[in-house]
Amino acid sequence: MHWIQLASSLTVVLSFFAFRGEAAECTNPAVRKEWRTLSTIEKAAWIAAVKCLASLPHDPNLAPIVNRTISNIPPINNSSSYWDDLVYIHMDLNTRARFQIIHSTGFFFPWHRWYVAAVESAMKSKCGYAGTAPYWNWSLDSADVKNSPLFLDSDPISGLGGWGDPAKDIQVQDGAFRDLQLAYPVPHTLRRNFTLRPYIALADNPTILDPTLEANVSFTPAEVQKMVHWTPGDFPGMQFYMERPEGPHGNVHEILGGDLGGYCPADAYPDCEPQPTFSANEPIFQMHHAMVDKVWYDWQHANPENFWAYHGGSVQNITSLQALSDYPNGMPPYLSLNSKIPADDIFDEVTIYDVMNTTGGYLCYVYE
């Protein structure tokens, strides 16, 4: 396909360009670890940092860049928490407006890498967190997500808690997040709902090839290895395989349902549409996207052609299978390593170049 050829031809040019003025590598990178390898104390510390951010007041500097008549999201709740502000950034930039969208464009990998690092930084600076951002290797649980150890840990301090109660609007009933209060789309408590076949209701969507698909089949260990060893230099192709309809990124969101799946609470406003805008409500979002980032990181390090490989558009087009084939990670205008990563005025803006190397100076971490 022409986009593979284009990405490959750009690799050499961008690789040369990328090294200009590169910041000195960090000398002592933090090590991000898989959740179940953390000690009970480490798990409790990360959870406490999430709850700390959820106890802090709204940041008045939050300034959405997308007009709400386009984004179709709720207005900022000025009485919300700082955690809610972080969620709002994702809501704003997840809009289907024809610019600055962070899914199905070249922003997907770099923006989410930046976002996980920004949340981790806020935990450290505002809450004294001394750890790193953990990741959830969902491939280890692909055979039986419902009974994953993550969702069987009901410890009120160090456990993530289990599935929600259907009789109580699928609200999580145990674990440390049983009382996590969230502002968007309306005030509610954290919700989860195991959903093995999330696409049955989308049978009319032309991009859903198998509405009866069981979501877990897309994030098995074999599927992860397929992405890690994807064609050298083919950044758009590797991203598309991760982010495609019924692909691993979306399927992890959907199989957890509730907030991570973007399901509207029972008492939401009448025109609330189930959508992934507020999926960052769920703290596991951070662990999920750390794993998404790890797959990209592992691909970057699997072949020299991959490390600086980058190409992507700034306009989403997921209207048909043909559009997905023509623009697997966004339509023109195309992004570049100089493109700014939008931060809605809560954080300083950096460039895509700044987050390409996780030990390049701006970022300073590796994966275990």
% of the chain residues with pLDDT over 90: 85
Asked, for residue 197, whether it belongs to a domain, the answer is yes
- Rounded Cα distance between 176 and 157, Å, is 5
Lowest mean pLDDT among 108-117, 198-207, 223-232, 345-354: 198-207
What is the mean pLDDT of the segment spanning 143-169? 98
The pLDDT of residue 82: 98
**Per-residue pLDDT, 23:** 59
- The mean of the pLDDT values for the chain is 92
Kindly report, residue by residue over 240-279, the tens digit of the pLDDT: 999 999 999 999 999 999 999 999 999 999 989 888 899 9
At 194, which CATH number? 1.10.1280.10
Give the domain extent around 287.
30-140+180-367
Q: Is 337 inside any structural domain?
A: yes
pLDDT for position 97: 54
Domain count, the chain: 1
Higher per-residue confidence, 10 vs 271? 271
- What distances in angstroms separate CA 221 from CA 25, 136, 150, 216, one per listed residue? 31, 13, 18, 11
Domain assignment present for 23:
no
Q: Is 181 helix (H, G, I), strand (E, B) or coil?
A: strand
- pLDDT tens readout for residues 195-233: 999 999 888 899 999 999 999 999 999 999 999 999 999
Q: Which of 25-29, 38-42, 115-119 has the lowest mean pLDDT?
A: 25-29
Residue 69 located in a structural domain: yes
Tell me, yes or no, whether 175 lies in a domain: no
pLDDT of 98 strictly over 80:
no
Residue 19 lies in a domain: no
On whether residue 335 sits in a domain, the answer given is yes
Q: Is residue 6 part of a domain?
A: no
CA distances in angstroms from 188 to 54, 66, 267, 283, listed in the order given:
13, 25, 9, 15
**H or E stretch including 91?**
helix 82-93
- Residue 306, pLDDT > 50, answer yes
